[in-house]
Amino acid sequence: MRVLIVRLSALGDVCCTLPVACALKDEGIATEIVWIADKRFAALAKQCDAIDEVITIEKSQLKKRAWVKELGEFDVALDMQGLLKSGLLVSAARAKRRLGFHWQREGARLFSSPVMPDPSSLHVVDQYVDVARALGCQTHRARFGLAPAPEEQASVSAKLAERGVNGPGYALINAGAGWASKRWSPAKNALLAAALMERGRPVVFLGAPGDRPIFEEVQSHCTTPPVDMVGHTNVAELTALIHGCAVHIGGDTGSTHIAAALGRPCVGIYKVNDPRRTCPYGQFIHTLEGDPDPNDVLRVAGRALAG
């Protein structure tokens, strides 16, 4: 079976959808998987061992969709985004069947049939995999198939060494998030970083270039500066940076989901969304809700580190 998957954005959502490709490939349902992704996040899909080809697109390509037909015939096209832009891409594909994630908006339902999740699928990752189950998959545990390339690991190791961090074992903190309401306070991030450093653990902050104002506010509360990797990695290098950490701490944001996908211990601080649905996959026990005290986060981080 030749399968087209459309999941354009964003970083965490692309990550959480990767198990669909893995389930289809691991169980022999799909012989070839082609993934269409936004150019900002396509590098993550390219790191998944179940995906044969990643088509990177820009905004202008959403308006003229004739190029989708040039990808050839597909047995099934999957709209895993559930928006008008993804629905139109699926509709343009030469596909025998068109299925989609159940949460469809902006008229996406006009272009594909939604797959309703099993009542036992509480986490969004399992709800995504339910789309693969509709095609015959029997998987009970999501696999992400994510791994950084050696050159990306070498690049990140060099950048960390320049900043005095040699080897794995560092604590990785993301103070940013797409919504301000999801962010834990900079002052509390600084207190947590200080406590980890007092215990001999190197602390590295990550983030996109747009997260620099948030990180600079964290720094303003620090007496000992943490290591700054905010805006200093591309998406492919971000996976390598997370892969090398001992523990990742952050809110409901892309790097937290990547950490879970890589099997790294991670602490999720969830101020808005229901963690039962969107916590780091398989690590609900390490999730805190609301606005926790830094000591509580430190305690949970210690438990995550202990395994």
- Summarised one tens digit per residue, pLDDT across range 181-226 is 889 999 999 999 999 999 999 999 999 999 999 999 999 999 999 9
pLDDT at 307 over 80: no
User: Helices 186-198 and 294-306 sit at what angle, rounded to 10 degrees?
Assistant: 50
The pLDDT assigned to 64 comes to 87
Confidence (pLDDT) at 152: 97
* Candidate CATH numbers 3.30.300.30, 3.40.50.2300, 3.40.50.2000, 3.30.565.10; the one for domain 2-133: 3.40.50.2000
Angle at 176 between CA 240 and CA 299, to 5 degrees: 80
Is residue 299 exposed (0-12), middle (13-18) or buried (19+ Cβ within 10 Å)?
middle
8 A C-beta contact, residue 301 and residue 250: no
- Check residue 89 and give its pLDDT: 97
pLDDT of residue 170: 98
Give the separation between CA 239 and CA 260, rounded to whole angstroms.
11
Q: Provide the percentage of residues in the chain whose pLDDT is more than 70.
A: 100
Encode pLDDT of 140-155 as tens digits.
889 999 999 999 999 9
Give the tokens for residue 278: 């969107």
Confidence label for 244 from pLDDT (cuts 50, 70 and 90): very high
CA distance between the termini of the chain: 39
Please write the tens of the pLDDT for every residue from 52-100. Answer: 999 999 988 888 899 999 999 999 999 999 999 999 999 999 999 999 9
pLDDT at 163: 97
Reported as a single tens digit per residue, the pLDDT across 254-289 is 999 999 999 999 999 999 889 999 999 999 999 999
Domain 150-306: CATH superfamily is Glycogen Phosphorylase B; (3.40.50.2000)
Nearest alpha carbon to residue 67 among 80, 58, 75? 58
The answer to whether 29 and 137 are in contact (CB under 8 A) is yes
Element (H, E) at 21: helix 11-26
Per-residue model confidence (pLDDT) at position 272: 87
CA atoms within 13 A on the CB side of 232: 17
The DSSP call for residue 278 is H
Bridge partners (DSSP) of residue 79 are: 6, 100
Span(s) in the chain for CATH 3.40.50.2000 = 2-133, 150-306
Tokens (6 digits) for 231: 């805006």
**What does the pLDDT read at residue 24?**
98
For residues 265 and 111, give the distance between their C-alpha atoms in angstroms, rounded to a whole number. Answer: 39
pLDDT at 140: 87
Q: Percent of the chain beyond pLDDT 90?
A: 93
When pLDDT is averaged across residues 2-23 and rounded to a whole number, the result is: 98
* Residue-level pLDDT at 304: 94
Contacts of 80-83 with C-beta under 8 Å, sequence gap 24+, read 80/5, 80/6, 80/7, 80/17, 80/20, 80/128, 80/131, 81/6, 81/7, 81/8, 81/9, 81/13, 81/108, 82/108, 82/114, 83/108
Asked if pLDDT for residue 180 goes beyond 90, the answer is no
> For the whole model, what pTM was predicted?
0.96
What pLDDT is recorded for position 59?
Answer: 85
